[in-house]
A and B are shown apart, each in its own frame.
Chain A
Amino acid sequence: MSTLLQQAPSLGNTIWFILAAVVLLAVLLGFVTYAIYFERKVIGWMQLRIGPNRVGPLGLLQTVADVTKLLLKEDTRPLHADKALFTLAPILAYAPAFAVLAVMPFTESIQFADLGIGLLYYIALSGITVLGVITAGWASNNKYSLIGGLRSAAQMISYEVPLVMSVVGIVLMTGSMNLREIVEAQRDVWNIVPQFIGFVVFIVAAQAELNRTPFDLPEAESELVAGYHVEYSGFRFAMFMLAEYVYMFGMGTLITILFLGGWLPIHPALSFIPGIIWFVLKFSLYVFFQFWLRATMPRMRVDQLMSFAWKVLLPVALFNILLTAVVISYQNGMF
Chain B
Amino acid sequence: MTGEFVAFFILSLLTIGGAVFMISFTRVVHMVISLGITFISIAGLFVLVGAEFVGVAQVLVYSGAISILMLFGIMLTKHDAYDEGTGRKWKNRFILLFVALVFALLFWGIQNTAWPASPPPAASGVSNAKEIGLVVFTEYVIPFELVSVLLLVALIGAIIMAKKEGDNE
* Chain A residues engaging chain B, CB cutoff 8 angstroms: 5, 8-9, 82, 84-85, 88, 113-117, 120-121, 123-125, 127-128, 130-131, 134-135, 138-139, 141, 146, 150, 153, 157, 160, 176-178
Contacts and interface: CB of A to CB of B under 8 A. Distances in A.
A153 B29 CA distance: 15
A157 B66 CA distance: 11
B53 A131 contact: no
A127 B130 CA distance: 23
A8 B2 contact: yes
Task: Determine the main DSSP class of B at the interface with A.
Answer: helix
B109 interface: no
Query: Sorted from nearest, which 9 A-B pairs have the closest CB atoms?
Result: A116-B127, A124-B60, A127-B63, A9-B3, A124-B59, A124-B56, A120-B56, A130-B67, A128-B63
A230 B57 CA distance: 33
B138 to A, nearest CB: 17
B29 A131 contact: no
Given A85-B30, A177-B129, A146 B74 contact: yes
A131 B129 contact: no
Interface in B59-99: 59-60, 63-64, 66-68, 70-71, 74, 79
Given A134-B67, A153-B71, A128 B59 contact: yes
Interface residues of B, number: 31
A20 B126 CA distance: 25
Given A117-B127, A146-B74, A131 B66 contact: yes
A135 B33 contact: yes
A223 to B, nearest CB: 20
Contacts of B64: 127, 130, 157, 160
A130 B63 contact: yes
Contacts of A146: 74
A117 B129 contact: yes
Contacts of B53: 116-117, 120
Interface in B1-39: 1-3, 6, 29-30, 33, 36
A142 to B, nearest CB: 11
